Amino acid sequence: MRFIQAMPSGDTEAPSAPAGLTAVAVTETTVDLSWTVSTDNTGVTGYDIYNGSTVVGSVNGTTTTFTVTNLTAGTSYTFTVKAKDAAGNSSAANTPLSVTTTIAPSSPNLLLNGGFETYTGSGGVADNWIKSFTAGVTQAFQTVNNPVFEGVQAQKLSGSGLASGDNVKIHQITAIEPNVPYTVSGQFNVDSLTAAKVQLYVDFLDASNAIVGTARAEQLSPTTGYITLEKSGVTPIAAAKAKVYAILRGTGAGGTGSFEVDAMSFTQSPADPQAFNAPHGAAASYVIFRPFWRMPAAFGDNGVSTPFAGWLLGSTHT
Ligand SMILES: [Ca+2]
Ligand SMILES: [Ca+2]
- From 55, 78, 100, give the residue that closes a domain: 100
Proportion of the chain in helix, strand, coil states, percent, rounded to 5: 5, 45, 50
Measured distance CA(171)–CA(264) in Å, rounded:
11
Contacts of 11 (CB under 8 A, 6+ apart): 41, 42, 85, 86, 87, 89
User: Please, what is the average pLDDT of the chain?
Assistant: 86
115 domain-assigned: no
Residue 289 shares a structural domain with residue 175: yes
Number of domains in the chain: 2
Residue 5: pLDDT over 70 = no
Q: What mean pLDDT is predicted for residues 233-258?
A: 97
Ligand nearest to the CA of 91: 1
Write out pLDDT tens, residues 190-217.
999 999 999 999 999 999 999 999 999 9
Q: What is the pLDDT of residue 25?
A: 84
Measured distance CA(9)–CA(2) in Å, rounded:
12
Residue 29 shares a structural domain with residue 158: no
250 domain-assigned: yes
Ligand nearest to the CA of 262: 2
122 domain-assigned: no
- From 100, 122, 141, give the residue that closes a domain: 100
| CA–centroid distance, residue 148 to ligand 2 (Å) | 6
Q: What is the pLDDT of residue 69?
A: 96
- Residue 297's pLDDT band, with cuts at 50, 70 and 90, is very low
| CA–centroid distance, residue 25 to ligand 2 (Å) | 39
Q: What is the pLDDT of residue 73?
A: 86
Ligand nearest to the CA of 114: 2
| CA–centroid distance, residue 127 to ligand 2 (Å) | 12
Write out pLDDT tens, residues 52-80.
999 999 999 999 999 999 999 889 999 99
Write out pLDDT tens, residues 89-110.
999 999 999 988 877 667 889 9
Q: Tell me the percentage of the chain whose pLDDT exceeds 90.
A: 74
123 domain-assigned: no
Whether this prediction's pTM lies above 0.75 is answered by: no
Ligand nearest to the CA of 86: 1
Write out pLDDT tens, residues 108-155.
899 999 999 999 988 999 999 999 999 999 999 999 999 999 888 999
189 domain-assigned: yes
CB 262 within 8 A of CB 150: yes
Residue 158 shares a structural domain with residue 228: yes
Residue 77 shares a structural domain with residue 199: no
Measured distance CA(148)–CA(290) in Å, rounded:
41
Judged by DSSP in three states, 4 sits in helix
State phi, psi for 64 to the nearest 5 degrees.
Answer: -125, 30
Judged by DSSP in three states, 277 sits in helix
91, amino acid identity: S
| CA–centroid distance, residue 227 to ligand 2 (Å) | 14
- Residue 4's pLDDT band, with cuts at 50, 70 and 90, is low
Residue 96 shares a structural domain with residue 134: no
Q: What is the pLDDT of residue 299?
A: 39
113 domain-assigned: no
CATH of the domain at 30: 2.60.40.10
Q: What is the pLDDT of residue 253?
A: 95
| CA–centroid distance, residue 93 to ligand 1 (Å) | 15
201 domain-assigned: yes
Residue 85 shares a structural domain with residue 29: yes
Measured distance CA(118)–CA(116) in Å, rounded:
6
Residue 218 shares a structural domain with residue 292: yes
CATH of the domain at 236: 2.60.120.260
Residue 261 shares a structural domain with residue 214: yes
Residue 55 shares a structural domain with residue 154: no
Residue 257: pLDDT over 90 = yes
β-bridge mates for residue 236, sequence order: none
Of 68 and 277, which is predicted with more confidence?
A: 68
Ligand nearest to the CA of 40: 1
CB 79 within 8 A of CB 95: no
Residue 194 shares a structural domain with residue 275: yes
Residue 41 structural domain: 4-100
Nearest to 79 by CA among 15, 35, 28: 35
Q: Tell me the percentage of the chain whose pLDDT exceeds 70.
A: 81
Residue 165 shares a structural domain with residue 283: yes
116 domain-assigned: no
Enter the DSSP assignment of 148.
-
Strand order in the sheet with 65-68: 19-26, 31-36, 65-68
Residue 227 shares a structural domain with residue 291: yes
Q: What is the pLDDT of residue 285?
A: 37
Residue 47: pLDDT over 70 = yes
Bond prior to 147 in cis (omega within 30° of 0): yes
